[in-house]
Amino acid sequence: MNILIVHAHPEPQSFCTAMKDLAVTTLEGAGHQVRVSDLYAMGWNPVASAADFGVRSNPDYLVYALEQREAVKAGVIAADIAAELDKLLWADLLILSFPLFWCSVPAMLKGWIDRVLVSGTCYGGLRFYDRGGLAGKRALLSFTLGGQQHMFADEQAVHGDWEPMLRPLQRGTLAYVGMSVLPPFAAYHVPYISQEAREEVLQRYADYLRQLELVEPMHFPSLAGFDRALNPLQQEVPA
């Protein structure tokens, strides 16, 4: 399996980076091909702008998604985007590795998503969810955070359930472009736990990675359940 890890942590000695390094070692040890895009180390530009296009189809008004589509077809998309898109299309599995910032991804990673998940290749028209441009690929979130697990256990927890917080990323981004999304791996409370506890987290992560091909993906919509206007089809009620 070809695996792309997109890593976004500003500190090379962080526990999040240790998880990324462990993933590389574990997955390569299992016989997979692994590539890493370390966004901070690369000096990745997270800002989507008109500068991403060597030639504009409409120089007077920027519609970013439409310019993406035309620029990829014409081969005039920015070189850094083209390189990352090549990695993404090569990969069978995408792992996003990051610290949770305000219940979301760091701006560096959001900028990778904005610029690399290009219209016309990854999605467009009715090419989304199970008909998306990246259908057949899988995705996984691997992240660290300061909170404890019980703080996110359910709607009664102090921070509430995880699902609504991760929905924009898991459903609105990864599933939207066609990927099958695996249940995320979260490393809780990492700034405050002992070295022994950190080693236990790393061991659990390694065990999870070794079983990836057996993990059932999360459920998201199939366009087969909707009409051409994307209204839900009426379900037959059993007699």
Region class of 107: left (phi > 0), else alpha (psi between -120 and 50), else beta: alpha
HEC-encoded secondary structure of 119-187: ECCCEECCECHHHCCCCCCEEEEEEECCCCHHHHCCCCCCCCCHHHHHHHHHHHHHHCCCCEECCCEEE
The single-letter code of the amino acid at 46 is: P
Helix (H) or strand (E) holding 35: strand 33-38
The pLDDT score that the predictor gives to residue 125 is 86
Q: How far apart are CA 169 and CA 151, in angstroms?
A: 20
SS3 content of the chain, % helix, strand, coil (to 5): 40, 15, 40
pLDDT score at 227: 87
Secondary structure element (H or E) that encloses residue 141, with its range: strand 138-144
Give the lowest-confidence range in 18-32, 81-95, 129-143, 212-226: 212-226
Q: Residues 96-103: what's their mean pLDDT?
A: 94
CA distance 24 to 40: 17
Segment 94-112 shows an average pLDDT of: 95
Q: Name the 3-class secondary structure at 36.
A: strand
- The domain ranges of the chain are 2-225
- Crossing angle of helices 195-210 and 15-29, in 10° steps, is 40
Residue 134 main-chain phi, psi, to 5 deg: -105, 20
What is the mean predicted confidence (pLDDT) over 114-124? Answer: 96
pLDDT value at 95 more than 70 = yes
Integer CA distances (angstroms), 119 to 27, 39, 65, 193, in order: 30, 21, 5, 42
Average pLDDT over every residue of 38-67:
96
Better-predicted residue by pLDDT, 56 or 237: 56
Is the pLDDT at 235 greater than 80? The verdict is: no
Per-residue pLDDT tens over the stretch 159-168: 778 788 899 9
Mean pLDDT of the chain: 93
Alpha-carbon distance 224 to 227, whole Å?
A: 8
* Res 103: pLDDT: 86
Backbone angles phi, psi at 4, to 5 degrees: -110, 125
Between CA 20 and CA 3 the distance in angstroms is: 12
Please return the burial class of 87, using the count of CB atoms within 10 Å of its CB with bins 0-12, 13-18 and 19+. middle
**In terms of CATH architecture, what is 2-225?**
3-Layer(aba) Sandwich (3.40)
> Would the pLDDT of 236 be above 80?
no
